[in-house]
């Protein structure tokens, strides 16, 4: 099913012409790779394009926002492989049927509240609580803990009020690890206090590095994906009918929403020996970036890539990255999106759009729509 709506593609001209977009970033120019095949190839070439760069993998870099290297994302093999192995079993619990039921229960409760109101603000009023409470399930802690995380807002490091909550996150993580060391259980924090990395316990900095990525890296990404998806469904009510006709379509629809509403535009890599990226010279220690969002719209790979096709197949998107750094939270994100769609197909007849303030990522090189700063809707139940 194609609804014929087209999403913007600010990278199309540069992708077709040169395959690269130069991004001014302070006193350096960062070349962003744009083509699907080249992004995937570079993502696997960690010797040339390294992630062993504390605080510099995100763009803009985060030296001024945190004190600990995020793990495992800011490392290369073999460190990355060994760090990742410590926590991967916990993240893979999101594939279990019982996990999906718990996520669906959270969606049901949020929907109960929303159907009882005249309108619902989606970004902070629905997607943020959903993300936070689902994270509590993933981490194996009481859902009540999520109420503290909700207060941090949509983005821990870059709050809507311009205030970073990085200090609050840091203090929270240290307190959580203190409690876990004193009385370990089966939760995420306890796991990190007990596991061994190459025959030794993790340092507190390493524990915080895992926690920092878990709380900050998978936060606004899920929130903006959920908000974008619900905004789309509000303007395309026939999509609900299409999904209700065959619930197996929910899996394909979820993957398409991840592709077209890719919340992370790109991610940085450091070139230890320097590199030539389509004619842009990167000095040793300089950065380039992998343009995930552009790769997801590459017309050489996706037919009519700007169309939202809820039954798109195949769909080799890179919304969760590619290669060794494939997102640890991918199964968790899929559980949220699929659970939401399934519950909404049962209980929501349509979504009426009331008001929207689109969010746009403004840079010197491109302007890219990126979800909403605010989205107000009215949920119409099946019995209405």
State the number of CA atoms in the 13 A half-sphere of 367 facing the CB.
4
What is d(CA 130, CA 223) in angstroms, rounded to the nearest whole number? 8
Could you give the angle at the alpha carbon of 109 between the alpha carbons of 242 and 342, nearest 5°? 20
pLDDT in tens, 234-248: 999 899 999 999 999
Nearest by Cα to 107 from 131, 124, 90, 91: 131
Cα four-point dihedral sign 69, 73, 78, 79 = positive
| Total Cβ atoms within 10 A of residue 267 | 18
pLDDT in tens, 274-283: 999 999 999 9
Q: Hey, what are 162's tokens?
A: 């311009």
Percent of the chain residues topping a pLDDT of 90? 87
Task: Please check the confidence at residue 5 and state whether its pLDDT lies above 70.
Answer: no
Kindly give the interhelix angle for 97-115 and 330-347, rounded to the nearest 10 degrees: 50
Top pLDDT among 160 and 313 is at 313
Q: Hey, what are 315's tokens?
A: 């769909």
What is d(CA 329, CA 18) in angstroms, rounded to the nearest whole number? 33
Task: Please check the confidence at residue 160 and state whether its pLDDT lies above 60.
Answer: no
Top pLDDT among 384 and 156 is at 156
202 DSSP 8-state letter: P
Contacts with 10 (C-beta within 8 Å, 6 or more apart), sequence order:
366, 367, 368
Task: Please check the confidence at residue 301 and state whether its pLDDT lies above 90.
Answer: yes
* Mean of all residue pLDDT scores within the chain: 94
Q: What is the mean pLDDT of residues 86-112?
A: 97
Q: Hey, what are 220's tokens?
A: 């606004």
Q: At 221, is the secondary structure helix, strand, or coil? A: helix
Q: What is the mean pLDDT of residues 147-167?
A: 77
Q: Please give the pLDDT value at position 27.
A: 84
Contacts with 302 (C-beta within 8 Å, 6 or more apart), sequence order:
259, 296, 312, 315
Q: Please give the pLDDT value at position 334.
A: 98
What is d(CA 291, CA 366) in angstroms, rounded to the nearest whole number? 12
pLDDT in tens, 195-222: 999 999 999 999 999 999 999 888 999 9
Task: Please check the confidence at residue 384 and state whether its pLDDT lies above 90.
Answer: no
Burial class (CB in 10 A: 0-12, 13-18, 19+), 101: exposed
pLDDT range class, residue 312, cuts 50, 70, 90: very high
Q: What is the mean pLDDT of residues 320-341?
A: 97
Asked if 304 and 193 count as a contact pair (C-beta separation under 8 A), the reply is no
Burial class (CB in 10 A: 0-12, 13-18, 19+), 257: buried
pLDDT range class, residue 157, cuts 50, 70, 90: confident
Top pLDDT among 216 and 322 is at 322
Q: Please give the pLDDT value at position 162.
A: 46
Contacts with 90 (C-beta within 8 Å, 6 or more apart), sequence order:
138, 140, 188, 191
Q: Which domains does the chain have, with CATH numbers?
A: 2-139+220-381 (1.10.630.10)
Q: What is the mean pLDDT of residues 48-71?
A: 92
Nearest by Cα to 229 from 333, 300, 332: 333
Nearest by Cα to 321 from 230, 221, 249: 221
Task: Please check the confidence at residue 186 and state whether its pLDDT lies above 60.
Answer: yes
Q: What is the mean pLDDT of residues 241-257?
A: 95
The lowest-confidence range among 138-142, 233-237, 376-380 is 233-237
In DSSP terms, 20 is beta-bridged to 33
pTM for the model: 0.95
pLDDT in tens, 9-33: 999 999 999 999 999 988 889 999 9
What is d(CA 108, CA 114) in angstroms, rounded to the nearest whole number? 10
Q: What is the mean pLDDT of residues 173-177?
A: 97
Asked if 57 and 301 count as a contact pair (C-beta separation under 8 A), the reply is no
Percent of the chain residues topping a pLDDT of 70? 97
């Amino acid at each position: 099913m194609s609804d014929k709506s087209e999403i913007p593609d600010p990278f199309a001209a540069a992708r077709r012409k040169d395959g690269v977009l130069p991004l001014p970033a302070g006193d350096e120019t960062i070349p962003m790779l744009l083509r699907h095949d080249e992004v995937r190839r570079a993502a696997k070439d960690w010797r040339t394009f390294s992630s062993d760069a504390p605080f510099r993998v995100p763009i803009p870099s985060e030296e001024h926002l945190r004190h600990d290297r995020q793990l495992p994302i800011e490392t290369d093999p073999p460190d990355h492989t060994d760090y990742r192995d410590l926590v991967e079993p916990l993240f893979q619990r999101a594939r279990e049927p019982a996990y999906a039921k718990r996520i669906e229960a959270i969606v049901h409760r949020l929907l109960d509240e929303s159907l009882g109101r005249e309108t619902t603000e989606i970004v902070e009023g629905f997607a943020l609580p959903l993300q936070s409470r689902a994270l509590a399930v993933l981490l194996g802690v009481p859902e009540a803990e999520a109420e503290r995380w909700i207060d941090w807002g949509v983005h821990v490091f870059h709050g809507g009020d311009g205030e970073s909550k990085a200090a609050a996150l840091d203090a929270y993580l240290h307190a959580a690890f203190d409690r876990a060391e004193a009385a370990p259980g089966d939760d995420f924090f306890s796991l990190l206090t007990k596991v061994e990395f190459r025959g030794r316990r993790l340092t507190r900095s390493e524990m915080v590095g895992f926690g920092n990525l878990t709380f900050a890296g998978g936060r606004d990404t899920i929130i903006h994906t959920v908000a974008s998806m619900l905004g789309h469904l509000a303007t395309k009510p026939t999509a609900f009918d299409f999904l209700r006709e065959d619930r197996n379509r929910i899996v394909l629809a979820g993957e398409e929403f991840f592709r077209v509403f890719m919340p992370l535009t790109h991610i940085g890599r450091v070139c230890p020996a320097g590199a030539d990226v389509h004619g842009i010279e990167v000095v040793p220690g300089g950065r380039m970036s992998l343009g995930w969002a552009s790769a997801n719209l590459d017309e050489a790979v996706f037919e009519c890539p700007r169309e939202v096709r809820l039954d798109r197949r195949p769909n080799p998107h890179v919304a969760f990255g590619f290669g060794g750094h494939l997102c640890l939270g991918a199964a968790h994100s899929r559980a949220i999106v699929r659970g939401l769609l399934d519950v909404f197909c049962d209980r929501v007849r349509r979504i009426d759009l009331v008001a929207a303030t689109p969010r746009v990522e403004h840079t010197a090189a491109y302007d890219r729509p990126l979800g909403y700063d605010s989205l107000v809707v009215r949920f119409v139940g099946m019995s209405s």
